[in-house]
Amino acid sequence: MMPMFFKPAELQSKEIKPFDDFPFGLSEGSLAGIISADELAEAAFLYHLVAKALEYGPVYHVGPGASFSVKVLKRITEDVSNLYSGNVYSVGELIQALNAVEDGSLVVVSLFPALLNRSAEGLVEVRKLVDRKGLILVLGHTTIELNELDLPGEFRRFYDLPEIFEALAVLRTSSYRGHYRLNMTVLKAPPDYVSAVGDHPIPVDSLVKPLL
């Protein structure tokens, strides 16, 4: 049996937020599940998270038929040379991809629930890789079919084993007279941000403008 070694609890690692007003940060060894209720909410989170993470090193975007516009990203950040993208269609292929990425990097998976062979066992294997390689892994999904009255059940439906995630959040956008707001519901937050659990209405005019 392989011995287990633990890193010092006080060891600090890099932490990433997509923008300053985002209610929690993601550090190395973090697994986050994000559900977006509309495409603009997904884009605002995804592009700004990737842009911020590129300041620290390589970023990987994968998924089943994952679409990502470098042209849009360049409206936020000029240097996209460390961005890599690819397609994975099953949890097995995702595990292979995670084995290949650089330790400590950000990996964003779009449309995670569409991957074949999803299971609690497969997600545990993904979790092991996040821990071993110190990754920041964000599993995302965008859907208009969301039961707002049972968000915990929706996370279990889409992410199989939500208990092993550091962060779980639902994103929605609303607009009024040309002004945009990102409405977040945080169901689970990293330990340093436990006070973030709850609802957060965040003005995002400046964040949305480059995307439109």
Residue range 117-169, pLDDT digits in tens? 999 999 999 999 999 999 999 999 999 899 999 999 999 999 999 999 999 99
Rg (C-alpha) for the chain, rounded Å, is 17
Contact 170, 37 (CB under 8 A): yes
Task: Give the C-alpha separation, 150 to 115, whole Å.
Answer: 23
Residue 65: name the closest of 112, 107, 99 by CA: 112
Instruction: Tell me the three state secondary structure of residue 123.
Output: helix
Distance of CA 167 to the CA centre of its chain: 9
Report pLDDT digits (tens) over 90-100.
999 999 999 99
Secondary-structure percent of the chain, ordered helix, strand, coil, rounded to 5: 35, 30, 35
Class of domain 30-211: alpha beta
Q: State both tokens at 80.
A: 């996209």
Domain edges within the chain: 30-211
Average pLDDT over residues 40-57: 95
What are the backbone dihedrals phi and psi of residue 194, each rounded to the nearest 5 degrees, phi first?
-60, -30
Average pLDDT over residues 81-104: 95
Task: Give the C-alpha separation, 124 to 6, whole Å.
Answer: 18
Task: Give the C-alpha separation, 190 to 199, whole Å.
Answer: 16
135 by Cβ neighbours in 10 Å (0-12 / 13-18 / 19+) ranks as buried
Distances (CA, A) of 123 to 39, 92, 103, 167, 206: 25, 10, 19, 15, 36
Tell me whether strands 15-16 and 26-27 are parallel, antiparallel or unpaired.
antiparallel
pTM equals 0.92
Picking from 43-47, 65-69, 178-182, which range would have the lowest pLDDT averaged per residue? 65-69
pLDDT value, residue 7: 57
Picking from 11-15, 109-113, 149-153, 193-197, which range would have the lowest pLDDT averaged per residue? 11-15
Task: Give the C-alpha separation, 130 to 29, whole Å.
Answer: 5
Task: Give the C-alpha separation, 3 to 5, whole Å.
Answer: 7
